[in-house]
Every structure is written in structure tokens, then in C-alpha cells.
Structure 1
Amino acid sequence: MADDLKINKTVLQVFKILDAINNATNPVGVSELTRMTALPKTTVFRLLSTLEYLDAVEANSLHQYKIGTKILAYAKSVDHQNSLVKVAKPYMKQFAAATHENINIGILYENQVLYLDSEEGEQFNLQVNLFPVAPLYCSSMGKIFLSAFTSAELAHYLDQTELHMRTVNTLVTPDQLKQAVTKVATEHLAYDNEEYEYGLTCIAVPIYQQGKLIASASVSGPTSRLKVRGWSYIKQSIIDFGETINNLL
């Protein structure tokens, strides 16, 4: 199975070392890690040097290793994301029950929207195409994140990203996207008007903690159904949801 997946052996070795350090009660040295991982001592030493350089592990004066600040920062980030979902989940359920539409929460991850959680209102087939990630330029939550980019960050994003036309509504020129993002920054509201997929409309709002943008929430559904339910009602519902979560964080 591992051969079929083309597993990288070096990555596996790195995680063997990290697992061994994490499972140890006290900091451990190279010899002990060699015994625990069954890896060659030269390999353990070489990988530890790189991990230490990256702050993934830390060594004491006896050259014994413990988990470093980089890994702890990742753990803190996971806890933070889980806390966000825990706070938001009851209100997501209320939103879906009241509007009968889907609500999603996502974060910015490597210039994409990473969906953390969703709550389903009425099922629609288009939803399966949304998860687990979406481009920034043609998603409502993505535009929320782009609106917080500095001019330099936005320019870099545009230089590195092909604005692929997914539908006839997709914004595919830098000027179009810049204008849309500027409007989002002013209104704190973003739209995906069938830009990601035909028949799908999304409206997103920012989620802040202590004044910092940490996530976004969106309502998504078939364009025709959202129109019947009323744009003003749907828009105000997601705005109210965002304000509620922002007041709780």
C-alpha cells in the first residue's frame, strides 16, 4: 500500500523521530532515539539537525531533544481552530434550521480557503464540489481573506495565481478582482455570484478575534432557491451570524 502511494521515506523517518520524542517522558538523546526508532544513528543525527534548525525540536546542554516551538505553534493553531468550531457550531445549527440553507466556516491556508466545518440546511448536489478547499479569487470566503491582504500581498498573489475561468462570471483579470476586493474591504461582505460553479451562489462575512481576521463564514445554496427565499433575508442572516460569533470570540 505504501509503495502504491509513493510514500516519502524521509518524511516517515522524520515523524518516527518526532513521535519518539513526543512519547518520551523526558528529553531524549541521539542514542536513545536511534534505539526507539530503529533508524541508523547517522540518519537520526542528520534529521535532528534539520529539525532543530526549523525549531521543530529543541536540544538542551546534554544534547537531549524535546518538541520545539514550531510544533507547539501548530498544536496551538489546531486548538484554536477547534475552539472556533466549538463556539460556532450551535449557531451554525440554528442558522441552518432557520434559513434551510447551508452554512460553512473556513480559514486561510496556503492561499486557499480550507473548510473547517459546515452545517447543512436543505441538501443540494453542488455542495460536494466545495470541500475541502476552494480558490480565493472565485469564492466568497476567499474574497474575504483577499480583502485583508496588503497591496504587496495581493500583488504577489496575483503574480502567482492563474485566474482560471470556471464560469462566465468568474473574475479573470487582476483589475476586476482588485475592484471586487476593495468593495469587500469596505462592506465586510463578499459574494460568489456563480463564479465558482454554475447555479451556486455564496455570501460570506469575516470572523474576527481581537480585531484580527481569523476565519470567514458563508451561506451557500442554489441561486434560484436563494432568490426565492429572498436575498435581503439571506444576506442579513449571514451578517447576523457573523456578528454573533465575533461577539463571542
Structure 2
Amino acid sequence: MKSGQRSGKRSYTNQSVEKTISILNAFRLDRPELSFAELQKITGFNRSTLHRFLVTLLDHGYLEYDTGAGVYRLGIRLFELGAIVMKNMDLRRVAMPFLKELAETLNETVHVVVREGIEGIYVEKYEPPGAMVTYSLVGKRLPLYCTAVGKVLLAFLEEAERVDLLAQLVLERRTPKTITDKEQLKAHLQQVYHQGYAVDDEELEEGLICVAVPIFGQNQKIVAAMSVSGAAHRIKAKLASPDGKLIALLQKVAAAISRQLGYVPERKS
């Protein structure tokens, strides 16, 4: 190790960068505009420090300030950078044509969700005309334990990683049908893994049912989950159909997306 170099992850961090990130991370989908006082409360910075960083972010277009409302919001530069990220996401590029066809075939909303830590994030959505309006948004976070996509993302993880994540989860009751017992959830995830799909039977939102399947990538591991969401009575009718079309169609589309992402299924001996 070179003289003056410290070991450990923290040796490469920069306090100014961390403060900048803390300010940007204060904004979320449910709080897109924040006053100076709110930013100070969230970040814990003193007035002079916060003011200095805000001026720099404003100068470079990472924040905007509404003088009339007295609030800050994320700036156009972040939108530009986000557009670059979204453009380069192979998953979205590959999946979208399949999602559109699937959603229009089923006349239901279709989502693709990836995992980040103990939450899921919507990365794509297609809602055809006539489908039930859902309040999901690309970029919005969602819980793993009470959603079909989340349960798929958990069920198809390596066991050690799944155990670690389950230990971190707080199973908050969202509806009367939400699973709030971890042992019950573990057993349910085993079932999801063996059957190859998950159902959210009004566990996140009453009146809404979702069915999800895994999408795999080049490394043979799960990279995302794809779901169809709709009014409970409509999805129940489709699930009860003798032809089993709903789940079969979801699995067929997910397999096609997986192949385009480089997934090669194991050959059965």
C-alpha cells in the first residue's frame, strides 16, 4: 500500500461530492419540489454550507429555483443525463416492442421492474387504451414483498442474497391480503420459484391484481421481472381461463426478451 493511502471503502470518498449527492437525493417522485428549509432539514447541512452547494448546482443546471413558489426542483441537466442512461439501457430497448404487443393483446397494463436494494424500480411501462389506469410511473419505487414483480425478483435470487434481503425487509400491511409473516413469505417465495411466476392478489392495492414472471440476462441470473396488472375481476377471469393463456403468454414473452439479452437456458438432459 502506498504511503498516505488508507485502506477501506471510505478512503476514496469525497465530502463535497457526498454533500452534492445528498442534496440531489433529497428529491423524490413524491416530493419533486423542496424549499430551502426542507432541504436543510433533510440533509442536516447548516445554512451557509447548503447555500454554497445550491448556488453551484443552480449554476450548472442541476437544479432550478422557482422564485414565485420559493422552491427548488431538479434541473434540465439531470434530465439530459437521465435520457442518456435510459437510451443505453438494453433492457428497455429490447423489452418495449414485446411489452406493447403483450399489453395490446391482453388489453392490460404491462410493466418491467428491476431491483435496487430492498426495493423495486419501474423501468418501463405500457398502458394500452381501455386498460385500468394504474398509478405506477417509470422511476417510481415499489416494495418487493407485496408485489408480483417483487416476489419474482426475490424468489429467483441466489439463496444467500435472498436470505440477506429478507432479513432487511419490514413487512408492512398494505391491505388485508398482504403477507406480513416472514416464514409465510419464505414459503410463498419457494412456491413462486417452482411454479415460475408470482401473483399479487390485491396485496399492495385493493382491487388490483398483478401477475409477474422473471427475465434473465447473459449471466444466467434474473435481471428484471415483467408483469401484467389490471382490475381484480378481469385478471382473475383470465387466470381462471382453462387455456392458461395469460401465464403462458407472459412466460413466452419473457423468454423472448431473455434470449435477446443473451440468456441461454440450460439444456435438459
Using the size of structure 1 for normalisation, the TM-score is 0.67
Corresponding position: 1:190 with 2:223: no
| Whole-Å separation in 2 of the counterparts to 1:212 and 1:136 | 18
Deviation of residue 205 (structure 1)? 0.9
Query: Per the alignment, do residues 3 and 204 of structure 1 end up closer, same or farther by CA in structure 2, a change over 3 Å counting?
Result: same
Return the match for 1:220 from 218, 229, 245.
Answer: 229
Name the amino acid aligned to 2:131: Q
**Are residue 237 (structure 1) and residue 246 (structure 2) matched?**
no
- State the alpha-carbon separation in 2 of the partners of residues 15 and 107 from structure 1: 34
The AA in structure 2 aligned to 1:174 is: K
Partners of 1:238 and 1:81 in 2: how far apart? 25
Give the aligned partner of residue 142 of structure 1: 150
1:201 alignment counterpart? 209
Separation (CA, whole Å) in 2 of partners of 1:11 and 1:155 = 43
Q: Which amino acid aligns with 1:114?
A: I
Between the aligned partners of 2:171 and 2:225, the Cα distance in structure 1 is 21
* Cα offset, 1:155, TM superposition: 3.2
Indicate the residue corresponding to 1:99 in structure 2: 106
Given that residues 175 and 202 in structure 2 are in contact (C-alpha distance below 8 angstroms), is that contact kept between their aligned partners in structure 1? Answer: yes
Separation of aligned partners in 1, 2:160 and 2:168: 12
Does 144-153 or 187-196 show the bigger shift? 144-153
Report SS of the residue matched to 2:145.
Answer: coil
Distance 1:171 1:82, change over 3 A: same
The runs of 5 or more residues in structure 1 that have no matched partner are: 21-73
Distance 1:173 1:80, change over 3 A: farther
Aligned residue type for 2:248: Q
In 2, Cα distance between equivalents of 1:81 and 1:213: 19
Larger Rg over CA atoms? 1
| Alpha-carbon displacement from aligned partner over 1:194-248 (angstroms, at most 9, x marks no partner) | 1111111111111111112111110111110123345422222211110111121
Per the TM alignment, residue 147 of structure 1 is displaced from its structure 2 partner at its CA by 1.3
| 1:6 and 2:45 matched | no
Root-mean-square deviation (CA, aligned residues, Å) is 3.1
Contact 2:209 2:231 in 1 (8 A): yes
Q: 1:234 corresponds to which letter in structure 2? A: L
- Partners in 2 of 1:178 and 1:155 — Cα distance? 9
What is the CA–CA distance in structure 1 between the aligned matches of 2:259 and 2:52, rounded to whole Å? 42
1:184 CA displacement = 1.9
The more displaced of 227-236 and 190-199 is 227-236
Q: How many residues align?
A: 193
Confirm whether residue 170 of structure 1 aligns to residue 182 of structure 2.
Answer: no
Deviation of 1:151 (Å): 3.7
> 1:112-159: per-residue Cα shift (whole Å, max 9, x none)?
11001100133324x115761211100111111111334443333333
Distance 1:174 1:5, change over 3 A: same
Counterpart for residue 18 of structure 2: none
Paired amino acid for 1:124: M
3-state SS of 1:202 partner: strand
Q: After TM superposition, where is structure 1 displaced by more than 4 Å over at least 4 residues in a row?
A: 7-17
Greater CA deviation, 109-118 or 230-239?
Answer: 230-239
Question: Which amino acid is 1:107 matched to?
Answer: V
Tell me which protein shows more helix as a share of its residues. Answer: 1
